[in-house]
A and B are shown apart, each in its own frame.
Chain A
Amino acid sequence: MIVAVPTGRILKELRPFLERAGIRPEAEFDDENSRALRFSTLTPGLDIIRVRPFDVPTFVAFGAAELGIAGYDVLAEFDYPDVYAPLDLNIGKCRLSVAEPADMVAGDDPARWSHVRVATKYPSITRRHFAKRGVQAECIKLNGAMELAPSLGLSQRIVDLVSSGATLKANGLVEIERVMDVSSRLIVNRVALKTRPAELSDWVRRFEEASEALAV
């Protein structure tokens, strides 16, 4: 059994959940400089892997990991049918929003759009979001520094994660529309849940209890 966890900022918030759920990784796991990707835990037969946040759903969808923790933004972007998200851990909270330059907002009438060009890390969500209201979104896929796109003429609008809004402000951008709320979810591989129901449900239950205990 393998649990996939995202590297980066979520991992710090996630650490107490793992502990509470009874997943105690070897010491090297907490060493940020460690080059290892796969770690053993105190539970025999349970290993933990550290992968990039965008890769967690892929590992779980293909059954390379049975359990994982992934942001709702990434889950919605890939929309794998073989990934279940049974539990909201209520950590890593932020939102996915559309933003544009502050000086553009006054003269902009979204009702007149038929086509927009958007720089984003989430082309699939963005296309779906705009298609719902009859607007075709031409997405420029970037992996970071979306906020630079409007000022450098790459695209006027961006769709990106917003938590405090400070980064947007610093770059002269204004949040004009919320696409979705984001938080981290526990995810489970569908086949594993069906073929090993007792074992997997037990892990989901442990995370549920951890989540309740930590929410208080």
Chain B
Amino acid sequence: MRMPATASLLPAGLRDMLAAESRQEARAVWQILCLMQANGYELVKPPLLEFEDTLLSGSGQSLARHSFRLMDSLSQQMMALRADMTPQIARVARSRLANAPRPLRLAYAGEVVRISGTQLRPERQSCQIGCELIGSDSIHADAEIILLAVEALRTIGVRGVSVDLNTPTLVLSLLQSYDYSQADADELAAAVERRHLTRVQRLGGEVSAIIDQLIACSGSVNTALPSLLAIGLPPAQRTQVEHLAAVVNLLKTAMPDLLLTIDCVERRGFEYQTGLSFTLFAETGEAGRGGRYLAGNEAATGFTLTTDNLVGVLDTDAPQEKVYLPGGTLPAIRASLQGRGYVTVQALEDNLPAGSEAARLGCRYTWDGSDIIPVED
């Protein structure tokens, strides 16, 4: 019955999820979608594959090197498999829902696949859940998305949620305003992000002093925000910091117990973000991220969670007790037992002894015609 072991080998980064984990994932997805729906976010479901030209244009550009391609033999065009659903949602908002009233609130959940994982996160397929708020640049939109993300994590039982608030465009725009070329600014911003301070100090001058201060202003919001506001920034960057401060105020009022941290130099993973962004942390690690981007030319913000970060962090729920039903049990009885929270397992053969069959199939009870009785071990 068992197939040869080598025939069951899966490609790197891909795996079979069995009962406990799949149940956890399905439940988490369902609970989060219900929460989004209840908050006025409409569900949409774009396809797994799209034409490469559409999927990887605009905000999808940064996904080009993560996406699998295949040839569409019908249209003779290249198709790409989605590595992130956010650009698809932005496309839906600009096409099918172009005439829908703004702000537009959309939610989605689906599988995404990327060409390679990282050493820290080797999974190449995961389930992405997210929501997008399109057509508003208000601080209230930022706060709504962040609060909803935190609530989503808490709803599925993630403990110790904290939010790191980021301004991924700040350092880059600062460097460009000091006449660094795009390439130099990129390289420097990467060094800044990893806190390679010697690299920053070599820049010298005013910009190095500002970046030094920006790096020093990371950590808990209570200490970091006042010193961040005290830095003498050029007007364009000043506006970004003030936007951040306003959002922090809203978040603190709405969820006083939420741990907020600030990191103004973080950029990684925010390739298409255009403004205030955030990373969600659970005690065990990163749980999701989100932030401002452009959906076409509309201001938008949103967040995404990927389940491979979450499953395993969540409590495992106790599986429901199973009842073995002998042949001929009426459907009404099955329904009533299921209503009482039992899982029913229907016998397919009449002539097998109920007790031993129940034990073999992992059922703790059988049905004797009038009530459930425990199976003797």
List of B residues within 8 angstroms of A88 by Cβ: 197-198
Chain A interface mostly: mixed
B164 within 8 A of A: yes
Residues of B within 8 A of A85 (CB): 194-196
Contact A197–B195 (Cβ < 8 Å): no
Q: Which residues of B contact A87 (CB under 8 A)?
A: 195, 197
B160's partner among A81, A83, A195 (CB-CB below 8 A) is A195
The answer to whether residues A61 and B119 also contact, given A81-B268, A85-B194, A85-B195 and a CB cut-off of 8 A, is: yes
Task: Let me know if A86 and B261 touch, CB within 8 A.
Answer: no
Q: Which residues of chain B are near A112, meaning CB under 8 Å?
A: none
Is A55 at the interface (CB under 8 A from chain B)?
no
B287 CB to closest chain A CB (Å) equals 10
Judging by beta carbons under 8 Å apart, are B120 and A194 in contact? Answer: no
Q: Is B286 an interface residue (CB 8 A)?
A: yes
Q: How large is the interface on A (under 10, 10 to 19, 20 to 34, 35 or more residues)?
A: 10 to 19
A191/B286 in contact, CB under 8 A: yes
User: Inside 8 A of A197's CB, which chain B residues have their CB?
Assistant: 218-220, 261
Contact A194 B261 (CB under 8 A): yes
B162: contacting residue among A62, A81, A195, CB under 8 A: A195
Residue of A nearest to B219 (CB): A197
B285–A191 CB distance below 8 A: yes
CA distance A61 to B162 in the complex (A): 20
Point out the residues of chain A lying under 8 angstroms from B283, CB to CB.
195
Instruction: Flag whether A201 is at the interface (Cβ < 8 A).
Output: yes
A67 vs B189: C-alpha distance when bound (angstroms): 23
Interface residues of A in 57-86 (CB under 8 A from B): 61-63, 80-86
A135 to B339, CA, bound (A): 69
Instruction: Check A194–B195 contact: CB distance below 8 A.
Output: no
* Shortest distance from the beta carbon of B219 to any chain A beta carbon, whole Å: 4
Instruction: Report the bound CA distance from A88 to B120 in whole Å.
Output: 25
A183 to B196, CA, bound (A): 12
Q: Is A27 an interface residue (CB 8 A)?
A: no
Interchain CB contact under 8 A, B120 and A82: yes
Q: Give the chain A neighbours of B268 by CB distance below 8 A.
A: 81
A81 to B194, CA, bound (A): 8
Nearest-CB distance from A62 to chain B (Å)? 7
In order of increasing CB-CB distance, the 4 nearest A-B pairs are A86-B195, A197-B219, A84-B195, A197-B220
Beyond A61-B120, A80-B119, A194-B279, 13 additional contacts (C-beta under 8 Å) are A80-B120, A81-B120, A85-B195, A85-B196, A86-B215, A194-B162, A194-B164, A194-B263, A195-B162, A195-B283, A197-B220, A197-B261, A198-B220
Report which B residues bind A (CB closer than 8 A).
118-120, 160, 162, 164, 194-198, 215, 218-220, 259, 261, 263, 268, 279, 281, 283-286
